[in-house]
Structure formats: C-alpha cells, structure tokens
Homo-oligomer: A and B are copies of this chain.
C-alpha cells in the first residue's frame, strides 16, 4: 500500500507537536491508517529545537513543501491570513490535499479555498482549527448529519476561559491577564483572545458546518471580557450563574445569530463548569438533542492530535481502493493486539469500605494495621459514633489505589476479626488523574 507523504509548514508549537506525535506514535498510527505516513519535508522560518529532524529535508521556504512533487498532503501550521492563503491555494493548485489548524484563514478565506479545492478534487481539512484536539468538526460534519442543528454554543478560547476562571476566585482582569501571559496562555498582544476574535473565527466555522451556510466571519458580533468585573461575577454567582466567554450561533427565521460575548450560564449546567484552558462545544440537534464535546482546546500535542486525525482521514481516503475506509475496530486486522482481559483481581482501584466495628479503643488501629499489611493506605476515615448500636458503630474508609487482590485479602482478614460484625461493604473509587 502506498505511503502517504506529508509536508509540514511551520514548526512552532503545533508543528513541533505534530512532528513529535507522528514519530512517537508512528506504528500505532500506521496500524490504524492502514498505510505509512511519512514526513517528507519540513519548512519553517526557524528550526524548533524540541524536535529531532534526522534525515528529513528542512528549508526556510514553505513553498518548497508545496512545490515538492513527492508531497501528497500539505500541513499548514504557520497561522495568519495572507501567506497562509497563498500557500494553501498553491498547494491546491498543485493537486495536494491540505490540513490546517488555521481558524483565521478558514473563517476569512474559507469560501474561496473550498471552491478552489472542489475544482481540483482535493481535501481541505481543518479540525485542528476549532477546539484543539476535540473532534468537534468531525462530530458536526459526520456524527450529527441526521440532525437539523438549531444552535451551537461553545467555550472555544482557552485564554479567555482561563482568565474568567481565575476571576471567579475574586481576582481582577488585568492581574489575571498578566499571569496568563507569564504562563504562555496569552500572547504579548492578547487582543485576539480576550476580545473574542479568535473565538469568533472558530464559531464562524462551527456555524457554517452546523447550519450549512457560507462562512461570514466579518459579520460576527464580538465583545471581549476586559469589562467583566469581580463584582458582576460575584453577583451572577449569587443569582445562580457563572460568567463564561461564549460563542453562540443560533439558526433563526431568515438568518443566523453569530455572537461572542460574556454570558451568564446557570452554574449547574456542565458547560458552566468547564474551567481553565479547557474547551467545550454544545450542539443542539433535533433528533439527538444536546450533545457536548469537551477537552483540551489548545496545546502542542492536543492540537497535533487533530492535525494528525485529519492526515489519517486523507490517508484513509487516498490509499484505500475499496469503500472500506475505516477498519472495523479502527485498527487494521493485522495490527490488532492479542491483549487478554485481566481477571478482576488484577485491577487497580481505590476503595470505599464500610464495616460494623466494635466501639472500643484499638479497633481502628487493628483495622488500619490489617490494611497496612496489605499495602493499603487510608485516605479518609469516618467513625459514626452517633450510630452506636449493640456496642458497634459504622466505620467508613476511603483508601488509596491498590491492586484488587490485596484488597480482597485485606477484606477477608477484616471480616475474620472478632471486632468486625458481618461483611465489609466495598465500592471501588476512581479519580481519573
């Protein structure tokens, strides 16, 4: 099966991440894509010292990638409007597929780019332009095709969300912005992020894919977060709301709403609890109802995840003769691993334990001692003195993670103690950290 050769233009944060993930997970990706994805050429204004180029040709001229006859897919990661537009149009003209992370380019020049690509019969994919590694463009263009989409709302700029999350703790905007810049979450010129322009780029794309309308970024309404005060945050909270910088696109009679602005959201909704640099997109479809997509909206490897998903989409499209584009389990049959399901005794978990114990000194020490002998550390203990009954009280514990086998043995020993009455209730606990 034919290799698919990609050329990466731009070796900044996302370019570096893409390069590294493609290499680190090369055989995994090959097992899924059904073909080898080779980095054929890389071009950037300057080198990135966090990547090892090895033998891969490097140049300072990104058009070398576009003009290289061996490159099948041009990955545009330089950002910006003008040179990126030229680059992408030239790639299309040369019959190459394009994968981009450039939401600004697509929001402003997408109509023109898609028209050119359609004439040439090449793919232009842009998952990485919206909500980082969360596959939300795929969800809307493919997963939700059965639905009339009525509205889409999203926390789609991590910088703004980080700032508002910190302000929720009572801090002032300018103070948090400074910290965001120090942490690398905001640029020296943070306008695109805090004024909502970046979010509007992304919302424009979401709205077009959701409602089936041409991209109309210039008509999007944007309002930034610089005028949100801790006072309003506090009073919104008092009324039961969090303030988020939301992009909202809504289909209406005769038009669509396309707006980015600070928005009060009921605090019990999941989207109100999406904090820090995380993103979430909520989509309302007439058949499925509301679905939400949540995860890292930015970051070198998070965005690379979306870039590479698009590259693999292209690879699966070009390298399969048959219609069987995606292998049944997402992996080529030859790439499946024969990993056995482990017996439950082999799993690792934390545990909630509850037992009826004699209410006298030393019992807790005995219980702790049994657990400790089996390598089980205790996180919390609650003794319910108030529920004393027949000389016994409930003792409730939360342990740290341990192998189930150890826990089974510890429980058997505890149940054998004279001080413990009846079985030990055990419920597994999970922190996902």
Q: Which residues of A contact B (CB under 8 A)?
A: 17, 21-22, 25, 28-29, 31-33, 97, 110, 114-115, 117-118, 121-124, 127, 132-135, 138-148, 153, 208-216, 219-221, 228, 231-232, 235-236, 238-239, 241, 243, 246, 248, 250-252, 254-259, 261-266, 268-271, 273-274, 282, 284-296, 299, 301-302, 304-309, 312-314, 317-318, 322-331, 333, 335-344, 346-348, 350, 352, 354, 380, 382, 396, 398, 425, 427-432
Contacts and interface: CB of A to CB of B under 8 A. Distances in A.
The 4 closest A-B pairs by CB, nearest first: A135-B143, A133-B288, A141-B330, A291-B295
Given A257-B347, A291-B293, A427 B273 contact: no
A304 B323 contact: no
B228 A427 contact: yes
A302 B329 contact: no
Contact of A255 (B211, B268, B339, B427): B339
A53 to B, nearest CB: 20
Nearest to A316: B142
Contacts of A215: 329
A219 B257 contact: no
Contacts of A210: 330
B259 A396 contact: no
A338 B290 contact: no
Contacts of A25: 146-148, 286-287
A328 B306 CA distance: 16
A146 to B, nearest CB: 4
B337 A211 contact: yes
A236 B427 contact: yes
A386 to B, nearest CB: 13
A290 B432 contact: yes
A219 B146 contact: no
A341 B118 contact: no
B324 A122 contact: yes
Nearest to A296: B289
A339 B261 contact: no
Contacts of A256: 339-342
30 contacts: A110-B328, A118-B333, A121-B322, A121-B324, A135-B143, A135-B291, A138-B142, A138-B143, A142-B309, A142-B326, A142-B330, A143-B309, A144-B305, A209-B331, A211-B337, A212-B330, A213-B337, A214-B329, A215-B329, A216-B341, A232-B354, A256-B339, A257-B341, A268-B273, A287-B308, A288-B296, A289-B299, A292-B292, A293-B293, A325-B325
Given A121-B323, A133-B289, A294-B292, A330 B239 contact: no
Contacts of A271: 432
Contacts of A145: 29, 32-33, 308-309, 312, 330
A408 to B, nearest CB: 13
